[in-house]
């Protein structure tokens, strides 16, 4: 590091406040920021911009608050009872023209892409269209009571929200392979490590579907503990959990929990033991068939 000029100043964007309320707000903001950073699936544009460093298990879902922080315009979750009633009403009255999924049919437009539906908050725009119809476009009026209109609106907004939020998408089935081929692959590629205490019996009871597939492809969730051993020129060795490794420094927590850091140079030997190294290598060579076969085999280990 070369902080050559000793006389520097840090200028803040807004006057520094140090009272307790501000500290609390700062803490809550930081907490929210951490939650936001934990959201593993972000926008088409800029998922990488969130710099997601610690993905969570595949089945976890961010809270509604976190989602609204990222997507303030997301339609809010609707009352599930109203959505269920609205769905029945929709199927009975609307699906014939607008399609079973509200994505449009032969005669009715897609209601998820509809400007009117997207601009509607609580039925103030959708309601009158249902009641008055659009006779010039072939839509008849529907004489429905307020409560039913409100249920239909709840269904449409929930449907819209679920389509927009890929966090909520469900993977249907991953067990589409050949369990016997999967077993053979497992025995030739995995069994040497996965015996005894590392054996995988019961894994399918802990993880289901795509969570199981995610788990065996990436068991550490990218954050598995990597062991590092640093040997100094004196012969002194430090071993522990890797904290950071870059071109210039290496840092670790030893098994007693003490932190150590060392410069990287010709006198410092750094050895990395990544328990998931084999898994990472596998990702480069694994075929889709092998992946499906192994997942299907693992599904049998209830």
Query: Which positions from 108 through 167 interact with other proteins, judged by CB under 8 A?
Result: 110, 112-113, 115, 118-119, 163-166
* Contact string 6-35 vs other proteins (x = CB under 8 A): x-xxxxxxx--------------xx--x--
- Please say which residue, 144 or 200, places its beta carbon nearer to other proteins: 200
- Please say which residue, 127 or 221, places its beta carbon nearer to other proteins: 221
Cβ of residue 163: shortest distance to other proteins, in angstroms?
4
Of 57, 52, 76, residue with least CA distance to 164? 76
Among 35, 38, 56, 71, the residue binding other proteins under the rule CB under 8 A is 71
Question: In the window 199-228, what residues touch other proteins (CB under 8 A)?
Answer: 210, 213-214, 217-218, 222
Q: Residue 179 and residue 301: Cα distance in Å, rounded?
A: 11
Q: 3-state class of 219 per DSSP?
A: coil
| Contact indicator for 226, 61 with CB cutoff of 8 Å | no
Cβ of residue 11: shortest distance to other proteins, in angstroms?
5
Among 143, 202, 234, 246, the residue binding other proteins under the rule CB under 8 A is 246
Q: 3-state class of 61 per DSSP?
A: coil
Q: Residue 168 and residue 302: Cα distance in Å, rounded?
A: 26
Among 19, 197, 235, 247, the residue binding other proteins under the rule CB under 8 A is 247
Question: In the window 74-103, what residues touch other proteins (CB under 8 A)?
Answer: 99, 101, 103
**Tokens (6 digits) for 298:** 């693992």
| Residue 289 neighbours by CB distance under 10 Å | 13
Question: In the window 39-58, what residues touch other proteins (CB under 8 A)?
Answer: 40-51, 53, 55, 58
Verify binding: residue 265, other proteins, rule CB under 8 A. no
| Contact indicator for 233, 220 with CB cutoff of 8 Å | no
**Tokens (6 digits) for 210:** 């795509």
Verify binding: residue 283, other proteins, rule CB under 8 A. yes
For 69, phi then psi, to 5°, come to -70, -40
Among 18, 19, 21, 73, the residue binding other proteins under the rule CB under 8 A is 73
For 241, phi then psi, to 5°, come to -85, 125
Verify binding: residue 274, other proteins, rule CB under 8 A. no
Residue matched to tokens 């249920």: 151
């Amino acid at each position: 590091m070369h902080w050559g000029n000793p006389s520097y100043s840090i200028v803040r964007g807004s006057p520094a406040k140090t009272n307790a309320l501000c500290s609390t707000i700062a803490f809550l903001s930081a907490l929210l920021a951490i939650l936001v950073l934990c959201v593993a699936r972000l926008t088409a544009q800029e998922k990488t911009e969130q710099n997601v460093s610690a993905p969570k298990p595949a089945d976890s879902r961010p809270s509604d608050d976190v989602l609204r922080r990222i997507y303030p315009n997301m339609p809010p979750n609707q009352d599930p009872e109203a959505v269920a009633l609205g769905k029945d009403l929709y199927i009975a009255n609307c699906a014939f023209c607008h399609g079973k999924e509200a994505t449009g049919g032969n005669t009715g437009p897609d209601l998820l892409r509809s400007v009117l539906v997207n601009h509607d908050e609580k039925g103030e725009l959708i309601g009158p269209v249902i009641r008055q119809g659009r006779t010039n476009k072939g839509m008849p009026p529907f004489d429905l009571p307020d409560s039913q209109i409100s249920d239909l609106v709840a269904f449409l907004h929930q449907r819209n929200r679920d389509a927009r939020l890929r966090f909520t998408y469900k993977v249907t089935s991953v067990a589409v392979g050949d369990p016997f081929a999967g077993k053979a692959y497992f025995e030739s590629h995995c069994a040497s490590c996965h015996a005894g205490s590392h054996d995988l019996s019961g894994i399918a009871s802990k993880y289901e579907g795509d969570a199981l597939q995610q788990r065996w492809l990436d068991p550490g969730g990218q954050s598995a503990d990597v062991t590092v051993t640093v040997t100094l020129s004196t012969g002194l060795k430090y071993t522990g959990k890797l904290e950071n490794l870059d071109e210039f420094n290496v840092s670790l927590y030893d098994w007693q929990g003490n932190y150590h850091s060392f410069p990287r140079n010709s006198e410092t030997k750094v050895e990395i033991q990544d328990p998931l190294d084999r898994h990472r290598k596998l990702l480069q060579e694994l075929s889709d068939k092998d992946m499906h076969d192994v997942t299907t085999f693992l599904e049998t280990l209830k």
